[in-house]
Amino acid sequence: MRVSRQYLWLLLLGSFALSARQEFSLKLKDHLFSPARLTVPAGEKIKIRLINQDDTPEEFESFSLNREKVVLGQSQAVIYLGPLQPGEYPFFGDFHPDSAKGVLIALADAQWRAHQQQQTENNETETPHVD
């Protein structure tokens, strides 16, 4: 029983481990996600700030990401993800599935660096910041 208790304490302490996450922004306006293709790094924990600029609530849903998150009208919600395997993860707005659709693209390290380089060259503003 002593071993079991030690294991339980390790489990409890380890379960609250924190790490810095890159944050990405996903906007919802007129029941459309922007960007509809959101590129993120694979293999690390990230968070997505979902900003609902519509007056009605929406539910971010993705079976492949295992997430369902309601964001009320004119408000924000944070979705915590990762580490993701490289690949594409479709998502949609549960209340407006015909229009609110998108895909999250998780890139492996080398591809992510190349993507960031291209973003810098294009002087675009999708570069994330760290908490």
Partner 1 sequence: MRSLFWLAGIVLLALSFTALADGRVVDKVYHPYVGALERDVEYRSLYQRQSQHPDNNTLAQKLGYGFAVSERAALAFYLLAERVMPDDYTVASYEVELRYMLTEQGQYNWDWGLLFEYEHQQQTNSNEITTGLLMEKEFTHTSLTINTLLVYEWGGNIKNELETEFRLQYRYRYLPALQPSIEIYSGENYKGAGPGFMGVHKFSPTRQLKWEAAMVFALDNDTIDRTLRFAISYQF
Interface residues with partner 1 (CB under 8 A) are: 1, 4, 7-8, 11, 14-18, 45, 57, 59, 63, 66-70, 72, 78-82, 85, 94-97
State which residue, 2 or 129, has the beta carbon closest to partner 1.
Answer: 2
Look up residue 56 and give its DSSP letter: S
State which residue, 67 or 116, has the beta carbon closest to partner 1.
Answer: 67
Q: What is the CA radius of gyration of the chain?
A: 17
In the chain, where do the E strands start and end? 22-29, 32-34, 37-41, 46-52, 58-62, 67-71, 75-81, 87-93, 101-107, 129-130
Q: Which two tokens stand for residue 79?
A: 């979705």
Q: Supply the minimum distance, in Å, between the C-beta of residue 72 and partner 1.
A: 7
State which residue, 63 or 118, has the beta carbon closest to partner 1.
Answer: 63
Three-class SS of residue 116? helix
Q: Which two tokens stand for residue 104?
A: 């999250």
State which residue, 27 or 31, has the beta carbon closest to partner 1.
Answer: 31
State which residue, 53 or 83, has the beta carbon closest to partner 1.
Answer: 83
Q: Supply the minimum distance, in Å, between the C-beta of residue 120 and partner 1.
A: 29
Element (H, E) at 109: helix 109-121
Q: Supply the minimum distance, in Å, between the C-beta of residue 121 and partner 1.
A: 32
Question: Are the C-beta atoms of 92 and 102 separated by less than 8 Å?
Answer: yes
Q: Supply the minimum distance, in Å, between the C-beta of residue 57 and partner 1.
A: 7
Q: Supply the minimum distance, in Å, between the C-beta of residue 122 and partner 1.
A: 30
